């Protein structure tokens, strides 16, 4: 099995350390396996198969069949590609657009922002597409100098 793990590392064009990082194990674990010192655990095999879903479990465990489950190269690339990281906003399916009535602040308006009032507007949140069942607890503004201002509705 060590030869098959080494074959995956070579096929994916990785170093032992990068491969270990990709599957979430210590790099020494991979070094010990590829040198023949240790046998891979079921946990390690599971991590390999989870990270590289295009790899055939039969091939990895028993050496039967082909390395990849898929026949054409495009499917292999898609299956072995790391899934994209989700960002903070990826869970929003229908983002709320900024209402046309809201405009960018003028130079005079930004001067008045330098001294916050610590009071939020009484405007209806429903007009901005907010869920009427929810209410704002606080708003935090983070500044480039690592300071912040916190606003709480009264």
pTM higher than 0.75, yes or no? no
- Distance, in Å, from the CA atom of 67 to the CA atom of 57, rounded to the nearest integer, reads 9
pLDDT digit string (tens) for 5-41?
A: 999 999 999 999 999 999 999 999 999 998 889 999 9
Confidence class of residue 124 from pLDDT cuts 50, 70 and 90?
A: low
Contact 39, 50 (CB under 8 A): no
**Whether the predicted pLDDT of 110 surpasses 60:** no
Could you report the per-residue pLDDT of 59-101, keeping only the tens digit for each?
A: 999 999 898 887 655 555 555 555 555 555 555 555 554 454 4
Domains of the chain: 2-80 (1.10.260.40), 115-151 (no CATH)
């Amino acid at each position: 099995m060590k030869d098959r793990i080494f074959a995956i590392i070579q096929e994916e064009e990785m170093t032992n350390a990068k491969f270990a990082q990709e599957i979430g194990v210590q790099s020494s674990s991979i070094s010990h396996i590829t040198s023949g010192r240790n046998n891979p655990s079921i946990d390690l095999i599971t991590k390999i198969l989870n990270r590289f879903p295009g790899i055939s479990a039969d091939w990895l465990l028993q050496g039967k069949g082909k390395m990849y489950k898929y026949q054409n190269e495009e499917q292999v690339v898609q299956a072995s590609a790391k899934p994209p990281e989700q960002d903070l906003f990826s869970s929003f399916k229908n983002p709320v657009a900024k209402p046309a009535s809201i405009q960018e602040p003028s130079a005079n308006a930004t001067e008045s922002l330098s001294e916050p009032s610590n009071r939020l507007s009484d405007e209806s949140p429903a007009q901005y597409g907010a869920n009427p069942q929810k209410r704002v607890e606080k708003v935090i503004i983070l500044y480039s100098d690592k300071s912040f201002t916190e606003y709480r509705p009264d």
